[in-house]
Structure 1
Amino acid sequence: MLTFGLFGTGHWAAEVHAAALAGHPGARLGGVWGRDPAKAAALAERYGVPAFSDPDALIGAVDAVAVALPPDVQADLAVRAATAGRHLLLDKPLALSLPDADRVVEAAGRSGVASVVFFTNRFRPAIASFLASAAATGGWHGARGVTYASIFQPGNPYGGSAWRRAHGALWDVGPHALSLVLPVLGPVTRVAAMAGPRQSVHLTLAHGDAATSTLSLALDAPPASTTVELLFHGEEGIDVLPRREGTPVDALRLAVGQLCTEVDTGTRDQQCDVRFGRDVVAVLAAAQTAREQGRTVTLPAGTSVTG
């Protein structure tokens, strides 16, 4: 039984992370820490666990950490937890800069802890099977994806997120899109990006010399235009991503199970670990530079984990 400390008190922490951990047969929730002590106390009471006032005290009391905090806060906590030998269940994006992502990877590698970055759709069984089949088929010339969300509508639990407002669709839904494309088309070597209406962003990615992909991303799309679409095209024709099924809690329970298995067996799966999370951050950082400077950015060698 793996004991987790939960870091975060917002909607995602309370309704997804805490719920998934509380209902998992191989895990238990051991405590909560948050930047707002009152919210941490309320969430801890809801799940019958202690609230911690010191994050390092919670790290010291558990086997693993589950982080549901803004990416810049997450990166520092992940380094502290990994350095203390605690396994990592993290959210996307891993960090908001490549140096911070590299620090997490270095700390996890040095301590040998297991890690899973929760790219939600990678833990939906139908989508995972689709991606495995598409990767095995090969021969793809490219992909075309659209991820349009509309989080700034009244009542949306993520509309007040300061980091999402500051960093936009590229850093929020961009990781989801990349987590689906990279396992099939391989590492990104060049990135171009352009801003669009309603603060959308549109990427063109080169995957070596064999394939290209285009991704359109938005957080403030008109409500009638929200969608998640992805198709691959190539020698075998066209293959379309299946519809999302199940809840985020269902998906996170599978991610928790994967982490527990890695800890129990001593194995380390690269599909959604911090190294893959780091490579996603590398693409996002390159895309941000491409958009800001109006040029194509070549990614440095070493960005090669594809999931």
Structure 2
Amino acid sequence: MTEAQPVRVGLVGAGPWARGMHAPMLAAGPETELVGVWARRPEAARELAAAHGTEAYDDYAALLAHCEAVAFAVPPDVQATMAVEAARAGKALLLDKPIGLTLAEAAALTEAVDAAGVVSQLTLSNRYRPRVREFLTRAAAFDTYGAQARQLTGAFIAGDYAHGWRLEHGALHDIGPHALDLLDAAVGAIEQVTAAGDSRRYLTLTCRHAGGAVSQLALSGVVPRTGDGRYETFELFGPTGALSLDFAELSADTADDAERWATLRREFAAAVRAGRPADLDVHRGLYLQRLIDQAQRSL
């Protein structure tokens, strides 16, 4: 049996997420080959490309001509436009979350992917962690009455992510997709979500799930992790007690962290080579965008 050739991937973006995750992951192979980088700032594209032994492109169309898949590490509204162009060019898509800033952008991108018949996958990074997958397997067999979750971080106070669309739209758009995705996967399909608070400060969501379970979620990007607080947890409760996942423990597990990127790369390449949608594809992104939109409208 002939070994599959690595998927030739072009990277759009050269910011902190592209530098810290996308470029190293795609360049590590063997399932993928990073064949080029395009960014709004050509000097940033050249620097990132040089660090990984690949080409920098000044022209997006030229990048598309030299790859078979495109990974996006740009703001959601930029991704929504550029990914439509890539889909129409027949390229598979590795998309960041949220897939757009608005529900209309997300729907237009999904329509373009379906029309082009290309493979898409979301970088919902927690879903590729072995220990998160183990938690979700246990959750599937757990009789859940209700759940509580917290996703609290100080990332928007200072540093690489404390600017741009994250500050403007807050935790609902940036952290919300991760948290809602995990609650939906662990407890059941979310049928209704309502919000209270301020997405730029501290926001709470109440979700009603299929089967009658209720979950509550707290989100913030401006709470520094000091003291003894539990800042990033998912807890399910039912007649047999509780089932919990604590991301403080996960963050200390370097093997689990490394494996998630290898799993993401491997599963994306397999989907592209098979020509089949990934489990976490653009439709999952649209589903999460509808929940975000519903929560936002309830404020």
What is the CA–CA distance in structure 1 between the aligned matches of 2:199 and 2:7, rounded to whole Å? 46
Letter paired with 2:171: A
Q: TM-score, normalised by structure 2?
A: 0.90
Give the CA deviation at 1:248. 5.6
Partner of residue 127, structure 1: 132
1:192 to 180, 191, 194: 194
SS in 2 for 1:217: strand
Distance 1:197 1:123, change over 3 A: closer
Partner of residue 287, structure 1: 295
Does the 8 Å contact 1:202/1:217 carry over to 2? yes
In the alignment, does 2:186 pair up with 1:222?
no
Give the CA deviation at 1:56. 2.0
Does the 8 Å contact 2:118/2:275 carry over to 1? no
SS in 2 for 1:95: coil
Does the 8 Å contact 2:172/2:199 carry over to 1? no
Give the CA deviation at 1:254. 1.4
Distance 1:288 1:248, change over 3 A: farther
Distance 1:235 1:113, change over 3 A: farther
Partner of residue 303, structure 1: none
Deviation per residue, 1:131-181 (Å, 9 max, x gap): 12312x153122110000101445x2212x210000101111111111211
Partner of residue 173, structure 2: 171
Partner of residue 79, structure 2: 74
What is the CA–CA distance in structure 2 between the aligned matches of 1:112 and 1:151, rounded to whole Å? 37
Give the CA deviation at 1:37. 1.2
RMSD: 1.9
Does the 8 Å contact 1:120/1:248 carry over to 2? no
What is the CA–CA distance in structure 2 between the aligned matches of 1:202 and 1:184, rounded to whole Å? 18
What is the CA–CA distance in structure 1 between the aligned matches of 2:127 and 2:72, rounded to whole Å? 18
SS in 2 for 1:287: helix
What is the CA–CA distance in structure 2 between the aligned matches of 1:197 and 1:12, rounded to whole Å? 22
SS in 1 for 2:154: coil
Distance 1:105 1:249, change over 3 A: farther
What is the CA–CA distance in structure 1 between the aligned matches of 2:261 and 2:83, rounded to whole Å? 18
Letter paired with 2:65: G
Does the 8 Å contact 2:84/2:112 carry over to 1? yes
Distance 1:145 1:48, change over 3 A: same
Partner of residue 240, structure 1: 244
| 1:62-101 alignment runs, 5 A limit | 62-101=67-106
Letter paired with 1:229: T
Structure 2 unaligned segments of length 5 or more: list them.
Answer: 1-5
What is the CA–CA distance in structure 1 between the aligned matches of 2:37 and 2:278, rounded to whole Å? 27
SS in 2 for 1:241: strand
SS in 2 for 1:151: coil
Give the CA deviation at 1:85. 1.1
Identity %: 36
1:158 to 161, 181, 193: 161
Letter paired with 1:145: A
Deviation per residue, 1:48-67 (Å, 9 max, x gap): 21111121221221010010
Structure 1 unaligned segments of length 5 or more: list them.
Answer: 292-307
Partner of residue 113, structure 1: 118
Give the paired residue count.
287
What is the CA–CA distance in structure 2 between the aligned matches of 1:158 and 1:234, rounded to whole Å? 37
